[in-house]
Amino acid sequence: MSVAMDEDEHWAVLDEKIFYAWLKYIQQIPRHTATEAAQKLDALFPTNRTDKGRKESPELFLMNMWDILINMIKGIPHQTVGQDKLVEVIEALRDLPTDTVVKIRSIKSKIWQDLPLLERVLEEAYRSFDPQTLPDASGDADRQEWHNLNAFAARLTAEGHQDHRLYGLWALRAALEDKPDRRAIAYQQQGRVLDCHVPVAAEWISRCGFSLYTSEDNYKKHAAKGGPLWQGKEGFCRERWWLWKRRFDEISNDKWGSEEMQQIAQAAQQKMTEIEIAVRNEVEIELENESENESENESE
């Protein structure tokens, strides 16, 4: 057997083991815990394998493992528990009692706590889509994969595993920061644009709205520049949030797009109001506590 065939067979066997380590926890066949799934993946890491077979580099293993995960994610509907379960496995990986450190491209990382290369693989998957052409894509497969990928990034962000809020900003920009002139052809075609992008933007509000509302982050090299309706700060701020909220409200009452999309826009606008109230209540409680502490100190 040729060396090339040996290598192909090696990866085929390893890919299958990685795939089923993720899959069995989703399907619970047999009944697995997230920790057991994480332990299986950890045991497959090159430096942890006890067999005398071929050992790939840690970088290649991690790139491959995350690529398998992301391809699974694209096929798992955004609203289902399957995505939640995969995030639970990632959390279990980060909780494993291991101090193994790998050096990848001159950067030292703990293999699970730091999730090395996951961000890179996710970014590559993200950039394989063109949000501008998605509304015109034939069939729903690409649009569904786009939504599923964004939902996973939002889950990772919400659980504090990684920070992908910039993807959320891009989703909100694509959905809400453009409003074609009534005389333009795009004005007559905006229904399918809204149907494509508004549900994804609403996903970010639903899962990470609090983080987006309280963020004041700026981004370099115009990464967070605004669409036609936003010429302000290139990042997060309350004024931009209020623009998004106003646009959700407008879209929910407009004639363009599906009824389902309009209901999603309305729910997102209501969620934003709830977040604003929750943050305001937190601030008031903090102020009250500070006032009480100052009064107690003065009385002493």
- pLDDT tens, position by position, 284-293: 887 767 665 6
- Tell me the percentage of the chain whose pLDDT exceeds 70: 91
Cβ neighbours of 97 (radius 10 Å): 5
Q: What pLDDT was estimated at residue 285?
A: 82
Cβ–Cβ < 8 Å for 73, 152: yes
Handedness of CA 192, 202, 94, 77 (dihedral sign): negative
For the chain, what is the mean pLDDT?
A: 90
Mean pLDDT computed over 238-242: 97
* Residue reference for tokens 């926890």: 25
- Pair of tokens at residue 279: 């943050």
Q: What pLDDT was estimated at residue 1?
A: 43
Q: What pLDDT was estimated at residue 153?
A: 98
> What's the predicted TM-score (pTM) here?
0.90
* Residue reference for tokens 């795009």: 186
CA pair distance 111, 35, nearest whole angstrom? 16
pLDDT in tens, 173-232: 999 999 866 655 555 678 889 999 999 999 999 999 999 999 999 998 889 999 999 999
Host H or E run for residue 16: helix 3-27
Alpha-carbon torsion, ordered 29, 31, 34, 40, to 10 deg: -70
Q: Longest C-alpha distance within the chain, in Å?
A: 86
